[in-house]
Copies of this chain bind each other. A is one copy, B any other.
Amino acid sequence: MSPLVECVPNVSEGRRPEVVEELAEAVRSTPGVRLLDVSADGAHHRSVFTFVGPPQAVLDAALALAEVAVRRVDLRQHQGLHPRIGAVDVVPFVPLRGATLEDCVALSRTFAQRLWERHRVPVYFYAHSALRPERRWLPNVRRGGFEALLREVATPERAPDVGEPKLHPTAGATATGARDLLIAWNLELDTDDVRVARAAARRIRESSGGFRGVQAAGWALPGGRVQVSVNVLDYRATSLRVLYEAVREEAERFGARVVSTEFIGLVPAEAVTEVAAAALQARNLEASRVLEVRLLE
C-alpha cells in the first residue's frame, strides 16, 4: 500500500463561495488526491481544506490550491477574527498510514521551495519542520499577523526560512510544516462579553498553564456571542470532554453557558470514542471497536 499523507491548508478566504469553490476544485482536479472536507467560516474569513493521497499527489494539490489563493486573495483587503500572515496562511502535512513525520518534513521543504520559486511568497517552517526552536509553535510564527509582519519581516528574528525577507504584496507569507493529527474546535458561549471567552481560553491553553498540547483564543463573534477557538494538538493527552468541562465551568463563573460547539475539518476516531465511552461508562469502547476503523486495516 502506498503511503498516505493528509494536508490541511488554511486559506484566508471564507466569504466568497466562488473562490472557496475554485480552491476546492484545484484540489479535486489533482489526480490521486481525495478532498475530504471543506470548512469555510465567514466570521473567521478563512477556509480549511482537508485532503489525502500519496505524498507527490498531495504536494501537487497543495501547490495547485496555493496558486489559486495567491491569485484570488488580497490580504490588504482582508479582515477576520483569526490571526493570519498569508493568503495561503498555513499548510500542514500530516502522516497517515505508511508515512512518517520525516516524510512530511521533506514534503514541507519542497512545498516551501516551489511556493517561493513560483509565486515569491516567503515561507516559515513550523512544528516538526521548524528550523528555529521558537518556530515550532505556530502562534510565534504568526504573532501580530500580516500587518505586524509587514513591519518586522526584515528583522533577523522574523526573517523567513525560505525566500527573501519581504512579504508578497497581496499574499503575505506562508507557514508550512509537518505535524501530527490535530483537532480544531470552536465553542460558542451565550454572552457578548469577550472577556469570558478569553478567560476560558486562558484556563485551557498550555501556554497559560492549562492542558498539554492545547492552543486556545477567545473572540467576539458578529451577532453578540463569543467563541473559544481551540486547537487540540495532542488529543491522546487531552480529552475533548475534559476541555468541554473546563470551558463550561469557566463560563459558568461568569453566568454564561456553552450554546453549541463545532469542529473544523475531520476528527480522529480515537478522540470521538473516548468521549462516547465516558458518557456511556463503557469499559471497552475504543477506536478499535469501531467497525469502520477495523475495516480500514
Contact: B281 with A278, CB < 8 Å? no
* Distance in Å: Cβ of A188 to nearest Cβ of chain B: 9
Contact: B181 with A280, CB < 8 Å? no
Q: Kindly specify which of A21-29, A67-75, A76-84, A266-274 makes contact with the partner chain.
A: A266-274
Contact: A269 with B281, CB < 8 Å? no
25 example contacts (A-B, Cβ-Cβ < 8 A) are as follows: A6-B291, A34-B297, A181-B291, A240-B276, A241-B279, A241-B280, A244-B279, A259-B281, A262-B283, A263-B285, A266-B289, A266-B291, A267-B285, A267-B289, A268-B290, A269-B269, A269-B292, A269-B293, A272-B273, A272-B276, A276-B279, A279-B279, A287-B292, A292-B293, A296-B296
User: Which residues of chain A have a CB within 8 Å of any CB of chain B?
Assistant: 4, 6, 34, 36-37, 52, 96, 181, 240-241, 244, 258-263, 266-269, 272-273, 275-276, 278-285, 287, 289-297
What DSSP secondary structure best describes chain A's contact surface?
mixed
Known contacts A272-B272, A276-B276; 4 additional CB pairs below 8 A are A261-B283, A266-B290, A269-B272, A272-B290
Contact: B261 with A294, CB < 8 Å? no
Contact: B37 with A294, CB < 8 Å? yes
* Chain B CB within 10 Å, residue with most, of A268, A273, A294, A295: A295
Known: A275-B275, A276-B276, A296-B296. A268 touches B283 (CB 8 A): no
In the bound complex, residues from chain B placing their C-beta under 8 Å from that of A294 are: 36-37, 266
In the bound complex, residues from chain B placing their C-beta under 8 Å from that of A37 are: 289, 294
* Cα separation A292 to B285 with both chains bound (whole Å): 16
* Cα separation A258 to B281 with both chains bound (whole Å): 8
* Distance in Å: Cβ of A285 to nearest Cβ of chain B: 6
In the bound complex, residues from chain B placing their C-beta under 8 Å from that of A267 are: 285, 289-291
* Cα separation A256 to B102 with both chains bound (whole Å): 53
In the bound complex, residues from chain B placing their C-beta under 8 Å from that of A272 are: 269, 272-273, 276, 285, 290
Contact of A295 among B96, B276, B279, B283 (CB under 8 A): B96
Contact: A240 with B280, CB < 8 Å? yes
